[in-house]
Structures are given as C-alpha cells and as structure tokens.
Amino acid sequence: MTRVGIYPGTFDPITLGHMDIIRRGAKLVDKLVIGVTTNPSKNPMFDVDERLAMVRREVADIDSAEIEVVSFGNLLMHFAEQVGASVIVRGLRAVADFEYEYQMAGMNQQLNDSIETIFLMADVSLQPIASRLVKEIAIFEGDISKFVTPAVCAEVVARVARNKA
C-alpha cells in the first residue's frame, strides 16, 4: 500500500523553508502531493500556473519519494480524499503557527478522522522565513537571496520590477 501525504500551501513564492519541509516530508511517505492552493483572497504575486511551474522546478531534484505538484481550490480534506492521502504535512515556525495549525488540525479531524496531520518544525535557520515577508522585502528592494533559491529570487525581483513599471 502506497502511503500518500500532502503538503498544501500557497507557495507565493516557494521559499527555502518550504523546501526544507518538502525534503523532510518526502522521507515520511511513498508519494508526496504538493497542493498549490488557488485561494484568490491571498492576492498572490504569481498566478497559479506560475506557482505550479516554480514549485515543480524547485522540487525536480528531490528523489526520496515520488513528488507530484498539483493545484487545488477546494476544501483541504476533500483534496486529501481525492488524492488518496492519509497524511497532511504541515510546517511550523513559531507559536503563532502552532495555534493556527492546531485549530485547523482539529477541524480537519472532525471532517475526516482517518487522515492524520503531521507537524514538522522548520529548521532553526529557516524559521523566520515567510512568503509574505519575502515579497515585502523584495518590494522595498531588499535582498531576498537568503530566503529563496536563485531562480525564485530572479523571478520575484523581475515581477516586482514589472509591477512597478
């Protein structure tokens, strides 16, 4: 039986913190489905197709499990059921993340108690990284190269420049 896990998120943009959780989460399952959410309320910098391409490129060299990158725009538990997931992988950075994630895990358990949520603590050096902050730093012309890969850095910088033009 193949153990399928999902790692959902906006990935706008994908950061080194996300990559850490993906690498570690992929070791826990046979197949990791990275679900790129289409939640328009977050006002993303990149559209869903751009984010899918970005994530696929960044995870291409991870070989510890089969990795699939897909978009979804429905309830997380419905998405988990659709892909046959038995595990949801979530990353935690700080106490505020825990409080939110704990509440979400409880609600998700009420919807389907056969799908477990696993929390992975972010690597200490990556804990402060958040996509929202990466975008904010880039908008104000700060250096984001410590937080994302070189390819993602170039994409974010180019998008900021395009948006300012």
**Alpha helices by DSSP H, 66-148:** 76-83, 95-111, 131-139
One of 51, 90, 131, 135 is an active-site residue; which one? 131
CB 54 within 8 A of CB 46: yes
One of 3, 23, 57, 93 is an active-site residue; which one? 93
Q: Report how far residue 128's alpha carbon sits from residue 110's, in angstroms, rounded to the nearest whole number.
A: 31
One of 27, 42, 78, 146 is an active-site residue; which one? 42
CB 87 within 8 A of CB 116: yes
Active-site annotation holds for 131: yes
CA separation (Å) from 76 to 20, 25, 38, 126? Answer: 21, 17, 12, 25
CB 88 within 8 A of CB 116: yes
Active-site annotation holds for 42: yes
Indicate the burial class of 101 (C-beta count within 10 angstroms; 0-12, 13-18, 19 or more): middle
Active-site annotation holds for 93: yes
Active site residues: 18, 42, 93, 131
